[in-house]
């Protein structure tokens, strides 16, 4: 199984890299191939990143993905595009967000009309791994 990992990365908005790492680690623990793992690196994207190449790689990974998991606390056009790409292929999506900042979460996270899109607030980053593992378990059971 392949899961695409998504989070806001532009303009240095990397406050949630620890949460992204917890998602990545939980996916690894369940033997899932993590696509776009580089977003768990707090220094990505560096100044020498070839943007055109990066976007091409993203497109390939989004087509390969069996599902997508996003840390969605920070609004991001890129995350929205990635979610929509996977969602339009009928694949499941899990949107995680920090409950302490629910006042700034997009309505697309709270009220997404697609039944394949789940959202889950976390109050403590410790609970992220359990939520991810449960989601992956649901995917495995549906296969």
What tens digit of pLDDT does each residue of 36-52 get?
Answer: 999 988 888 878 888 89
Rounded distance between C-alpha atoms, residue 27 and residue 56, angstroms: 23
**What's the whole-model pTM score?**
0.92
pLDDT at 49: 81
pLDDT exceeds cutoff 80 at 14? no
Rounded distance between C-alpha atoms, residue 35 and residue 106, angstroms: 24
Mean pLDDT of the region 21-26? 96
pLDDT exceeds cutoff 80 at 143? no
Alpha-carbon Rg for the chain, nearest whole angstrom, is 14
The residues spanned by each domain of the chain are 2-142
Assigned CATH for 2-142: 3.40.50.450
pLDDT exceeds cutoff 80 at 27? yes
């Amino acid at each position: 199984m392949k899961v695409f990992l998504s989070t806001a990365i532009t303009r240095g908005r990397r406050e949630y890299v620890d949460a992204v790492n917890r998602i990545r680690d939980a996916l690894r623990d369940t033997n899932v191939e993590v696509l776009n793992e580089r977003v768990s690196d707090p220094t990505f994207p560096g100044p020498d990143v070839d943007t055109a190449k990066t976007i091409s790689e993203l497109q390939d990974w989004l087509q390969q993905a069996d599902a997508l998991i996003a840390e969605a606390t920070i609004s991001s056009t890129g995350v929205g595009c990635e979610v929509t790409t996977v969602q339009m292929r009928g694949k499941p999506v899990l949107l995680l967000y920090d409950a302490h900042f629910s006042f700034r979460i997009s309505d697309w996270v709270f009220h997404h009309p697609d039944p394949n899109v789940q959202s889950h607030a976390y109050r403590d980053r410790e609970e992220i791994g359990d939520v991810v593992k449960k989601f992956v378990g649901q995917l495995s059971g549906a296969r």
